[in-house]
Structure 1
Amino acid sequence: MNALFNRTRAFLGPEMAGPGFALLAVIVFFSLASPQFLSRATFGSVAFQLPELGLLTLAMLLPVLTGGLNLAITFTANIAGLTAAWVLKSNGGVDAGPFAFFMACLLAIGVGAASGLVMGLVIAYTRAHPILVSLSMMIFLRGLGEFLTRGGDISGFPAFIQPLGHGSILGLPIPLLIFIICVLIWHLLLTRTKLGFNTYMIGSNIEATRYSGINTRRVQVLVYTLSGAMCAIAGIIMMARFNSVRVGHGESYLLITVLACFLGGVNPFGGFGRVIPVFVALVVLQLLSSGLNLIGANQHLATAVWGILLIAVMVLRFSAGRLKFLQRIKG
């Protein structure tokens, strides 16, 4: 029994304490405030809304672990979605076949990965700050998308891709299953591969990592390339969910992905954090939004509460670090 407990604790990590407590607090509060909160409808709504934000959060996670940031995640997802949409439209639109959709997905992921590759190369070889580089890429992708679409959207896709955004398998939404698979892949990447180990090393101290013989440039390029590829997967899911693609889809998700990372115990300066606590943090944010809707709160209040929550997380983390420091001095 103790061995099982120790394995579970090692799997989840100490980062699980914050999101675990927040999850319990949200469930208790809203179940008392609204009898409809603990219902199948609520959790079904969360299950369908979670994947889009979740996939973009995974795209944000890797750069944050290296001490960087990817501000271009939403527009990378949109430009990848636009790529897939153009391939489908050029192959018959609503009459496009499965092979056209397969090629559309490959090209979309390629475009997303290429966007991340460019950012990674610039960051790695010029040592420019990731915020400036990703902000520049965000502006470029937004302008490119608006120029190519003239500010409009692209719609009219084959019916067989709709289950990718709205379908279910054994009662579980297909987008949620895709998201869970991506969570497991990211978990294995960070805990079982050399790239994952090097990612944490760079986030802890990039100069020491460089002197230890690790090719930090290669790791940074791979991290941002994978981030862009994950953005593309999110863009494909959004295309199937909304049955249309435009430049502004999911624009409001950007700051929420950062909040989810920090609420999930990820160090904002890099080098520390796990995937599973971030997944729980995403569930907390979605439950919080659904709970506020059930009690009749204004829809925009959820955004305000998320902002307050981010401030609270930063204050608590600083206070906990200060307390540990004082305890070490006294000890």
Structure 2
Amino acid sequence: MTSVAARIKDLFGPEIAGPGFAFLAVMLFFGIASPQFLSAATFGSVAFQLPELGLLTLAMLLPVLTGGLNLAITFTANIAGLTVAWVLQANGGVDAGLASFALGCILAIAVGATTGVVMGLVIAYTRAHPILVSLSMMIFVRGLGEFLTRGGDVSGFPAFLQPIGHGSILGIPIPLLIFIACVLIWHVLLTRMKLGFNTYMIGSNIEAARYSGVNTRKVIVLVYTLSGAMCSVAGIIMLARFNSVRVGHGESYLLITVLACFLGGVNPFGGFGRVIPVFVALVVLQLLSSGLNLMGANQHLATAVWGILLIAVMILRWLAAQLMIFNRRKG
């Protein structure tokens, strides 16, 4: 029993408490408020809507763990999607083959990784603040995409892309399977690999990590490179989901990814946080949105509730920290 409990603690960590409680609260409230909430249709809708936001949240997670931020995630995803679209259109559009799609995906991931490399190099070697660097990259990528597309959509893709965005395997949406695979990769990276350990060290204290022999510049570049590559995966999924690509697709996801990280127990200053609690937090946010929709609430209200939820999380964290300090002094 002790071994099983230790493994569960190792997998989820204490960070699961917040999103776990939020999950139970949302399920209980909307389950009572709306009879349709606890239905296959609701969970099917969540399963299809979750992956694109989830992949972008994974892209945000690594920089946040180092004490940084990647504000360019949505536009990096869109420029990667545009890369796939241009390759397909150059090879026949709707008549393009699987080889063209594979080439487009490889180039898209290379484009996303390149944006990450540039940000990582600038942050690591100039020590410029990640917010300023990623904001500059966001403006550049957005402007470049709007220049190349003239602000319009790019569409007209082969029929075989439709199952990637809307198909299922054994009743599980293909985008969700891709997202779960990426969650597992991130979990292994952060808990079983040297890069993950060094990422936490940098987020906790970059100077201490440097004096401990960690090549902090290399780690930061790798972190932002992986973040950019994950953005590309999100961009490919968005292309298949919407059957079109536009520079502004998913622009509203940016701040929600930050909310999902914080709700999932990630320290905003870096150094602490796990992937699985963030996954649970994403499910909570999607269930909250679906519940409000079932109750006839406007989608803008869901966005407002997400903002209030972030404020509530910060207040609860402060109260928990104060309680811990009080207990230590009392003890």
**TM-score (norm. length: structure 2):** 0.99
- Whether 2:30 is the aligned partner of 1:50: answer no
Instruction: Report the AA paired with residue 304 of structure 2.
Output: A
Could you report, residue by residue, the CA deviation over 1:219-273 in whole angstroms, capped at 9, with x for unpaired residues? Answer: 0000000000000000000000000001000000000000000000000000000
Tell me how far apart the structure 2 counterparts of residues 166 and 124 of structure 1 sit (CA, whole Å): 40
Report the Cα offset of residue 10 of structure 1.
Answer: 2.1
Partner of 1:226: 226
Q: Could you list the runs of 5+ residues in structure 2 that have no partner in the other structure? A: none
Report the Cα offset of residue 327 of structure 1.
Answer: 1.6
Q: How many residues align?
A: 331
Report the Cα offset of residue 3 of structure 1.
Answer: 2.4
Partner of 1:239: 239
Partner of 2:115: 115
Report the Cα offset of residue 2 of structure 1.
Answer: 3.4
- Whether 2:197 is the aligned partner of 1:187: answer no
Partner of 1:136: 136
> Equivalent residues in 2 for 1:56-67 (5 A)?
56-67=56-67
Tell me how far apart the structure 1 counterparts of residues 298 and 234 of structure 2 sit (CA, whole Å): 27
Q: Could you list the runs of 5+ residues in structure 1 that have no partner in the other structure? A: none
Show structure 1 runs of 4+ deviating over 3 A. Answer: none
CA RMSD, Structure 1 to Structure 2 (Å): 0.6
> Equivalent residues in 2 for 1:153-192 (5 A)?
153-192=153-192
Report the Cα offset of residue 94 of structure 1.
Answer: 0.3
Q: Aligned to 2:36, what secondary structure does the other structure show?
A: coil
Report the Cα offset of residue 126 of structure 1.
Answer: 0.2
Instruction: Report the AA paired with residue 268 of structure 1.
Output: P
Instruction: Report the AA paired with residue 103 of structure 1.
Output: L
Partner of 2:210: 210
Could you report, residue by residue, the CA deviation over 1:57-114 in whole angstroms, capped at 9, with x for unpaired residues? Answer: 0000000000000000000000000011000000000000000000000000000000
Could you report, residue by residue, the CA deviation over 1:172-226 in whole angstroms, capped at 9, with x for unpaired residues? Answer: 0000000000000000000000000000000000011011111000000000000
Tell me how far apart the structure 2 counterparts of residues 210 and 114 of structure 1 sit (CA, whole Å): 25
Tell me how far apart the structure 1 counterparts of residues 281 and 154 of structure 2 sit (CA, whole Å): 33
Tell me how far apart the structure 1 counterparts of residues 123 and 82 of structure 2 sit (CA, whole Å): 26
Partner of 1:252: 252
Report the Cα offset of residue 5 of structure 1.
Answer: 2.4
Tell me how far apart the structure 2 counterparts of residues 74 and 257 of structure 1 sit (CA, whole Å): 10
Tell me how far apart the structure 1 counterparts of residues 298 and 244 of structure 2 sit (CA, whole Å): 27
Partner of 1:279: 279
Q: Aligned to 2:299, what secondary structure does the other structure show?
A: coil
